[in-house]
Chain A
Amino acid sequence: MGTDMKEKIKISGLSKKLGGRMILNGLDLTIYEGETFVLLGQSGIGKSVLLKHIIGLFLPDKGKIYIDSELFDPQDPKSLKKVRKKCGMLFQGGALFDSLSVGENITFALDHLRPDLSQEEKQRKVQISLDLVELEGKEDLPIASLSGGMMKRVALARAIVAEPEIVLFDEPTTGLDPIMVTTIDELILSIKRKLNTTFVVVTHDLYSARSIADRVGLIFNGRIVFTGSAPDIEKSENPYIHQFVNGIPSGPLTA
C-alpha cells in the first residue's frame, strides 16, 4: 500500500492482558481508507480483541489508536461517541436483539446513531440496507425464524445502515455452509463497491480472505507478523504466513 493512501486506522504499540495472558503485545498496524483489510490468525489468538479495541469495547493496557489521525480515547465519552458513529460492527453470532423483528433491529441502530433523521428517512434507510443484503420485504420477520445466513445478513444490514466510514467484521462466515460463505463474500464485495467504506475483516477462513481482501495481515503472539496483498499470501516466503496458508502443524505458529 502506497504512501498516497490516507491512513484510516493507525494502531501503535497496543497491548492487552486478559485472564493473565498477554493477548496483544505491542501491536502496530495501519489500515488505509477504502481498503478491505483481512486479519488472519489462529482461533483465540486475539483477532476479535483487536477489533473490539478499535470500536472501544475494550480499553487498552498500553498503546494508542488513531482514527482519521485523531487519537481515540475510549474513556472520553465525546471521543467514544465520535468513533462509534464512524464504525459499524458485525458480530460473530450476529448479536441481533431477539425480542425485536428484523426491521426493528435495524431501526434500533438508526434511532441511536442518527436521532436527527425523520421516521420516513429512517424507514427509507432500513429499506436500502435490506435491499443491499438481499432481504427486501423481510422486515417483519422475527429473529427466531431466521437461518444462520439470514441472521448474518440482517446483522450486516444493521452494521451499515447508519452509513459508517469503517465496518468491522468479526468472523462473518463462521458456521455457514460453503454456498452461504460465497454469498456473504459477494455481499461484502458488492457493499464495498457501493459504499466505498473501509472494511476490517477478522477471519481464519482463507477462502474468504482470498475473495474479499485488498490486504491481508497475520496476527501471532500479540503482534502482526505479516502484511501483504491478497496474492502475496500464496507466494510469500514469510514463515508464518507460509505455515498458516498451507496448514502445516509444525513451524513458528504454535497452538
Chain B
Amino acid sequence: MSSVKPNYITGKIKYFFNELFTFVKFSLNAFRHVPHNIRYPLEFFRAMYEIGVKTLPIILLTGFFTGMILGLELSDTFEAIIAGTSQFIGAALSVGLLKELGPVLTALIVVSRVCSSVTAKLGTMRVTEQIDALQTFAVDPVDFLVTPRVMAGIVSVPVLSAMSISIAFLGGWLMVTVGFEVDNSLFWEMAQFPLKLYFVWESVTKSAVIGGVVLLISTYMGFHTRGGAEGVGKATIRSVVTSSLMVIVLDYLIGTAYILAY
C-alpha cells in the first residue's frame, strides 16, 4: 500500500504537467491562426453570434436581478446599522459591479451556457471523426474550430460584461431610489465618487483574459475528447469545472496585479 501511493502521486503530477504542456502548445497554435481569421472572418462572426448575441438575453436578465438584490440587501443592511446610510450604496454598487461582479458573473454565465456547448460540440465532432474529416479536406481544425471561438471570447465577453454592469447598475439604482427613497442626484454623485479610470481597464482586462482562457479550455477539452458519448459527457464536466475555477483564480490574480500596480 505504501509503495503505491508515491507512484500514484508522481503519476498525477506527471499527468498534470503533461496536460499543461499540451494545453500551452494548443493555445500557441490557436493564436498562430489569428491573422488568417482576421483575413477570413466568417467563422469569427459565427462564433460572435453564438457566444455574444445568443448569451445577451440571459446576461441582461441575471444582471438586472443581481443589481436589484444587491441594492436591496446592501441598503437593508446599511440602514439596519446606521439609519440613512443607504445613500452611500451607489458607491458600493459602482465599484463592486465594475471591478468584480460584472466580469465574474458574466464569465460564469458564459462558462455555463457557451463553454459547455462548445466542449460538447467539439467532443462529439472528435468522437464521430468529423474533425478527422475536416483534416482530409485540407482544413486545419484548430484554425477552423478553435481560433474563431477564442477570438470571439476575447471580444464578446468584455462587451457582455459592460452590458451586464450597466443593467445591474440600473437594477440597483431602481431599488435604492424607489425602494429606499434615496435622492437620485445623491445616488449618482456617490456612484461616481470612488471610481478611478483604472477600474475600467481592470474590468476590461479581466473580461478579455477570462473570455479567452475559458474558450481555450472548452475547445481544448472538446478537441481532446476520447471514448464516445461517455467521453463527451466527462469532457464537458471537466471543461465547466476547470473554466469556472479559472474564472475565480484569474479574477483574483488580475485584481491583485492592478492593486499592486496602482
Contacts from A to B (Cβ < 8 Å):
52, 55-57, 80-81, 84-85, 87-89, 91-93, 95-97, 108-109, 112-113
Task: List 16 extra interface pairs beyond A89-B133, A96-B133, CB under 8 A.
Answer: A52-B132, A84-B135, A84-B136, A84-B137, A85-B138, A91-B129, A91-B132, A91-B133, A93-B128, A95-B128, A95-B129, A95-B130, A97-B133, A108-B137, A112-B137, A113-B137
**Chain A residues whose C-beta falls within 8 Å of the C-beta of B139 in the assembled complex:** 112
Cβ contact within 8 Å between B128 and A89: no
CB-based closest 5 A-B pairs: A95-B133, A95-B129, A112-B137, A91-B129, A84-B138
Cβ contact within 8 Å between B129 and A88: no
**Chain A residues whose C-beta falls within 8 Å of the C-beta of B132 in the assembled complex:** 52, 57, 91, 95
Cβ contact within 8 Å between A55 and B136: yes
A-B contact count (CB 8 A): 39
**Chain B residues whose C-beta falls within 8 Å of the C-beta of A88 in the assembled complex:** 136
- Measured CB to CB, the closest approach of chain B to A199, in angstroms, equals 16
Cβ contact within 8 Å between A113 and B138: yes
A92 to B18, CA, bound (A): 31
Can you list 25 A-B pairs, Cβ within 8 angstroms, ordered by A?
Answer: A52-B132, A56-B135, A57-B132, A57-B136, A80-B138, A84-B135, A84-B136, A84-B137, A85-B138, A87-B136, A88-B136, A89-B133, A91-B129, A91-B132, A92-B129, A93-B128, A93-B129, A96-B133, A97-B130, A97-B133, A108-B137, A109-B137, A112-B139, A113-B137, A113-B138
A113 to B135, CA, bound (A): 11
**Please, which residue of chain A has its CB at the minimum distance from the CB of B138?**
A84
Residues 139-182 of B contacting A (Cβ, < 8 Å):
139
A84 to B130, CA, bound (A): 16
**Please, which residue of chain A has its CB at the minimum distance from the CB of B144?**
A112
A interface, over-half SS: mixed
A81 to B138, CA, bound (A): 6
What 0/1 readout, one digit per residue, does chain B (104-128) give for beta carbons within 8 Å of chain A?
0000000000000000000000001
A109 to B138, CA, bound (A): 9
- Measured CB to CB, the closest approach of chain A to B180, in angstroms, equals 50
- Measured CB to CB, the closest approach of chain A to B221, in angstroms, equals 20
**Chain B residues whose C-beta falls within 8 Å of the C-beta of A93 in the assembled complex:** 128-129
A88 to B137, CA, bound (A): 8
- Measured CB to CB, the closest approach of chain B to A81, in angstroms, equals 5
- Measured CB to CB, the closest approach of chain B to A101, in angstroms, equals 15
**Chain B residues whose C-beta falls within 8 Å of the C-beta of A97 in the assembled complex:** 130, 133
**Chain B residues whose C-beta falls within 8 Å of the C-beta of A108 in the assembled complex:** 137
**Chain B residues whose C-beta falls within 8 Å of the C-beta of A96 in the assembled complex:** 130, 133
- Measured CB to CB, the closest approach of chain A to B189, in angstroms, equals 51
**Chain A residues whose C-beta falls within 8 Å of the C-beta of B136 in the assembled complex:** 55, 57, 84, 87-89
**Please, which residue of chain B has its CB at the minimum distance from the CB of A99?**
B121
**Chain A residues whose C-beta falls within 8 Å of the C-beta of B137 in the assembled complex:** 84, 108-109, 112-113
A84 to B128, CA, bound (A): 20
**Please, which residue of chain A has its CB at the minimum distance from the CB of B127?**
A93
Q: Which of B133, B135, B137, B139 is most buried by chain A, counting CB atoms within 10 A of its CB?
A: B133
What 0/1 readout, one digit per residue, does chain B (190-207) give for beta carbons within 8 Å of chain A?
000000000000000000
Cβ contact within 8 Å between B128 and A112: no
**Please, which residue of chain A has its CB at the minimum distance from the CB of B136?**
A89
**Chain A residues whose C-beta falls within 8 Å of the C-beta of B130 in the assembled complex:** 95-97
A108 to B133, CA, bound (A): 11
A57 to B132, CA, bound (A): 7
Cβ contact within 8 Å between A112 and B129: no
- Measured CB to CB, the closest approach of chain A to B112, in angstroms, equals 22
**Chain B residues whose C-beta falls within 8 Å of the C-beta of A57 in the assembled complex:** 132, 135-136
A88 to B136, CA, bound (A): 7
**Chain A residues whose C-beta falls within 8 Å of the C-beta of B138 in the assembled complex:** 80-81, 84-85, 112-113
A109 to B130, CA, bound (A): 12
**Please, which residue of chain A has its CB at the minimum distance from the CB of B121?**
A99
A87 to B137, CA, bound (A): 9
**Please, which residue of chain A has its CB at the minimum distance from the CB of B125?**
A97
- Measured CB to CB, the closest approach of chain A to B50, in angstroms, equals 11
A84 to B132, CA, bound (A): 12
A80 to B129, CA, bound (A): 19
A108 to B129, CA, bound (A): 16
**Chain B residues whose C-beta falls within 8 Å of the C-beta of A85 in the assembled complex:** 138
A113 to B137, CA, bound (A): 6
